[in-house]
């Protein structure tokens, strides 16, 4: 009987697996294609409603009063080559980010102070609750009087749109932290700074980014209305809100819809940026 020798020096070929990028995972998911199909169905129904109004003189409620998507696309191709349109994007983004960043800088410490200090909360929470229900747009006439320029007035109104939402979310998030964590840390000799930096602040981060996402949406609503009311400057730099208002005054429904779609894209990009920052600040939530 012959012995079989096995060559131990030879190793089986190994396979190298490349981790797919986030974009590849997104386009390969059924949710992406379902969402794309939903958008296409919406556009087809919109186009059909516009066709029925032209061909059969039948007006579909709501959609029948809008121009066809093909006309909107043609108007968008005319607008995107104009520098003034992109300057409107720049001006609106500057105002939104200016008011939003100031609201974050002031709102997060203020909300944390309300949560951790009872005396501070007893003094400042009642006036905060009185001012919070006032709509930000109600401040537009007063801000035009108080501030020397329209630009400062718009940024102030956008700040108010995000500030109250951020504070409420930070306060609620910090107050929901289990007190047993704090007592356990204190029993092991943790200082007040350790309690804040290791328990309160990390435990409040989800609420901070939730408030930031909601506040960003409100900020876009407010800045557009503020640009319409205050004028926002010239046509080239008036912002997307003033672009919509000037299109309305000029009777161009196609340009109005182009401005509305631009707002939706701008809001999506802003929210995507906040989500990306939240994933980097809270890596433990990536598994969910």
At 203, which CATH number?
Answer: 1.10.3720.10
Q: Give percent of the chain with pLDDT exceeding 70.
A: 86
Q: Is the pLDDT of residue 173 over 50?
A: yes
Is residue 158 within 8 Å of 96, Cβ to Cβ? yes
Same domain, 177 and 222: yes
Mean pLDDT of 49-73: 78
Same domain, 217 and 101: yes
The rounded mean pLDDT for the chain is 82
Number of domain units in the chain: 2
H or E segment at 129?
helix 118-131
Average pLDDT over residues 216-245: 77
Alpha-carbon torsion, ordered 128, 230, 150, 252, to 10 deg: 130
pLDDT category at 285 given cuts 50, 70, 90 is low
Identify whether 34 is part of a domain. yes
For residue 121, tell me if it sits in a domain.
yes
**Domain residue limits at 143:** 75-283
Per-residue tokens: 68: 């066809």
| Tokens found for residue 230 | 């205050």
Q: In whole angstroms, how far apart are CA 238 and each of 91, 103, 133, 149, 154?
A: 7, 23, 28, 13, 11
Last residue of a domain, one of 16, 48, 66: 66
3-state DSSP of 258-274: HHHHHHHHHHHHHHHHH
- Supply the pLDDT for residue 235: 45
Q: Is the pLDDT of residue 147 over 80?
A: yes
* pLDDT score, position 53: 75
176 close to 111: Cβ distance less than 8 angstroms: no
Same domain? 61 vs 159? no
CA 24 to chain centre: 24
CA 115 – CA 259 distance, rounded (Å): 40
Verdict on whether the full-model pTM lies above 0.85: no
165 and 194 belong to one structural domain: yes
Q: 138 and 62 share a domain?
A: no
pLDDT over threshold 50, residue 95: yes
Considering the domain architecture, whether residues 53 and 150 belong to the same structural domain is answered as: no
């Amino acid at each position: 009987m012959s012995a079989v020798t096995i060559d131990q020096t030879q190793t089986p070929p190994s396979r190298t697996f490349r981790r797919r990028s986030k974009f590849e995972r997104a386009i390969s998911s059924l949710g992406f294609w379902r969402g794309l199909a939903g958008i296409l169905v919406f556009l087809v129904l919109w186009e059909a409603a516009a066709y029925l109004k032209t061909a059969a003189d039948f007006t579909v409620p709501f959609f029948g009063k809008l121009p066809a998507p093909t006309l909107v696309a043609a108007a968008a191709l005319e607008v995107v080559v104009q520098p003034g349109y992109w300057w409107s994007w720049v001006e609106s983004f500057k105002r939104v980010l200016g008011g939003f960043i100031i609201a974050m800088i002031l709102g997060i410490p203020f909300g944390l102070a309300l949560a951790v200090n009872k005396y501070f909360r007893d003094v400042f929470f009642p006036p905060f609750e009185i001012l919070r229900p006032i709509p930000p747009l109600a401040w537009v006439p007063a801000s035009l009087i108080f501030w020397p320029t329209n630009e400062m007035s718009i940024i102030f109104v956008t700040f108010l749109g995000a500030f109250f939402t951020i504070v409420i979310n930070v306060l609620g998030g910090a107050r929901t932290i289990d007190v047993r964590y704090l007592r356990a840390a204190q029993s092991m000799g943790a200082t007040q700074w350790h309690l804040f930096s290791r328990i309160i602040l990390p435990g409040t981060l989800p609420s901070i980014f939730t408030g930031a996402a909601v506040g960003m949406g409100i900020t876009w609503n407010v800045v557009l209305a503020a640009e319409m009311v205050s004028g926002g400057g010239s046509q080239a730099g008036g912002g997307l809100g003033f672009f919509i208002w000037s299109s309305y005054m000029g009777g161009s429904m196609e340009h109005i819809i182009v401005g509305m779609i631009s707002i939706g894209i701008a809001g999506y990009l802003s929210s995507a940026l906040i989500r990306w920052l939240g994933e980097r600040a809270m890596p433990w939530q990536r598994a969910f």
